[in-house]
Amino acid sequence: MKRMFLILLIAASLAACAYDGKPRKKVFNSPMCGAVKGYTVGYIAYGDAKLVMIPLSKVRTETVFVVGLKSFDGYDNADVTVKGTAAPWMPGKTGRYSDPRVLPYPRHAFEVGCVPAAAAVGTVYKFKVEVVNGPVTNTLDPRAEVVTW
């Protein structure tokens, strides 16, 4: 019984982070970037006095960087803004958990930037995430590292 519970717990935790910060290959036309070779989703979880995101996402050249949102405590309409601090390819985009789905990304995700073909492998770009929950603003400074195909 305990063993089955542990197996199910591990499977559920692995399924929940399947997209978290890992590049995915898929050739398609992105609404923001045009023809791309894939995408990376970095998830942000936020709510009442909470703001969590993995500190480093892996991105590839000629792909889209996407942020997925997970809202807690009824903050579905909070504004989430992602902007590169030293990454001109992340001009600054705002999304909400309640926004409609954009395919082929998971639900509650929005595009924040197009990784250029000229981005050097190993380069780490910093970006700022701000979540505005009414009068409260929370900020994080995670990074995106360019990796090889």
- Report the distance separating Cα 104 and Cα 149, nearest Å: 20
Residue 17: predicted pLDDT:
45
Element (H, E) at 71: strand 64-71
53 has a pLDDT exceeding 50: yes
pTM here is: 0.82
Is residue 13 assigned to a domain? no
Residues spanned by the domain of 32: 20-146
CATH code, domain carrying 83 = 2.60.40
Is residue 8 assigned to a domain? no
102 has a pLDDT exceeding 90: no
Distance of CA 33 to the CA centre of its chain: 16
> How confident is the model over 119-130, as a mean pLDDT?
92
> How confident is the model over 49-70, as a mean pLDDT?
89
Residues 6+ away with beta carbon under 8 Å from 128: 81, 82, 83, 84, 85, 139, 140, 141
- Report the distance separating Cα 70 and Cα 51, nearest Å: 10
Is residue 2 assigned to a domain? no
- List pLDDT tens digits, range 65-96: 999 999 888 888 889 999 998 888 999 999 99
What percent of the chain stands above pLDDT 90? 49
By three-state DSSP, how is residue 37 classified? strand
Element (H, E) at 67: strand 64-71
Q: How many domains does the chain contain in total?
A: 1
Residue 16: predicted pLDDT:
45
